[in-house]
């Protein structure tokens, strides 16, 4: 379902956590929420790099919950916007969103015991997945929403 969205490991060469102009859809609400998602992922990366923290388990759990909650919030907002403007690819977007949230729920519920044993490796894998998926989803799917709005002269 997410094949076009899951080019894991394909990140920005200089700063994979920078919300640059190339990610902007032209829709302020969507862009602001995407920026926040990048910030949460950066926060997770900073945790990985914090060498003075030996047991990161509790913080990992907090960040996973924060990411899951904010992602669901964002996807809801984005889907409501697409519905309001009659966006023709809404169903495909909903499927991609649902699959991503399912992945987050699986991480949260099914791997917590494993996280405590190898936090560093787990976080690196998670970061690669999150940045890769978000980058490719925005560039491959979400930017089309902005193009649709612009080409149809839709006022938001």
Separation between Cα atoms, residue 81 and residue 103, nearest integer Å? 23
Question: 């990411």: which residue's tokens?
Answer: 67
Q: What is the mean pLDDT of residues 80-87?
A: 98
* 1 confidence band (pLDDT: 50, 70, 90): very low
Mean pLDDT of the chain: 84
Spatial CA neighbour of 2 closest among 107, 108, 128, 93: 93
In this predicted structure, which of 19-28, 39-48, 99-108, 112-121 has the lowest mean pLDDT?
112-121
Residue 15, CB half-sphere, CA atoms under 13 Å: how many? 8
**pLDDT of 10 higher than 50:** no
Q: What is the mean pLDDT of residues 88-110?
A: 85
Spatial CA neighbour of 96 closest among 134, 58, 59: 134
In this predicted structure, which of 29-38, 74-83, 129-138 has the lowest mean pLDDT?
129-138
**pLDDT of 51 higher than 80:** no
- Which has more pLDDT, 6 or 52? 52
Q: Are the C-beta atoms of 93 and 148 separated by less than 8 Å?
A: no
Q: Residue 122 is encoded by which pair of tokens?
A: 């787990």
Cα end-to-end span (Å), the chain: 30
Buried b / exposed e across 113-129, counting CB within 10 Å, b at 16+?
eebeeebeebbeebbeb
Q: What is the mean pLDDT of residues 7-26?
A: 75
Which bin fits 26, alpha (ψ -120 to 50), beta or left (φ > 0)?
left
**Residues in CB range of 8: below 8 A, 6 or more apart:** 128, 129, 132, 133
Q: What is the mean pLDDT of residues 85-109?
A: 88
Q: What is the mean pLDDT of residues 47-53?
A: 77
Q: Given this model, what pLDDT does residue 114 score?
A: 62
Separation between Cα atoms, residue 64 and residue 126, nearest integer Å? 10
Q: Given this model, what pLDDT does residue 8 score?
A: 41
Q: Are the C-beta atoms of 124 and 3 separated by less than 8 Å?
A: no
Q: Give per-residue pLDDT as tens, 127-151.
A: 888 889 999 999 999 999 999 999 9
Separation between Cα atoms, residue 122 and residue 20, nearest integer Å? 27
**pLDDT of 4 higher than 50:** no
Neighbours of 68 (CB within 10 A): 16
């Amino acid at each position: 379902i997410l094949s076009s969205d899951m080019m894991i490991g394909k990140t920005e060469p200089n700063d994979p956590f920078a919300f640059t102009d190339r990610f902007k859809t032209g829709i302020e609400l969507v862009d602001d929420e995407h920026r926040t998602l990048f910030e949460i992922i950066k926060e997770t990366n900073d945790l990985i790099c914090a060498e003075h923290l030996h047991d990161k388990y509790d913080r990992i759990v907090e960040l996973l919950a924060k990411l899951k909650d904010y992602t669901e919030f964002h996807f809801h907002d984005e889907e409501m916007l697409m519905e309001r403007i009659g966006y023709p690819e809404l169903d495909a977007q909903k499927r991609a969103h649902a699959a991503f949230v399912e992945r987050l729920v699986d991480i949260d519920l099914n791997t917590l015991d494993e996280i405590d044993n190898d936090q560093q490796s787990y976080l690196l894998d998670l970061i690669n997945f999150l940045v890769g998926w978000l980058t490719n989803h925005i560039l491959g799917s979400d930017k089309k929403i902005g193009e649709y709005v612009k080409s149809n002269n839709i006022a938001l």
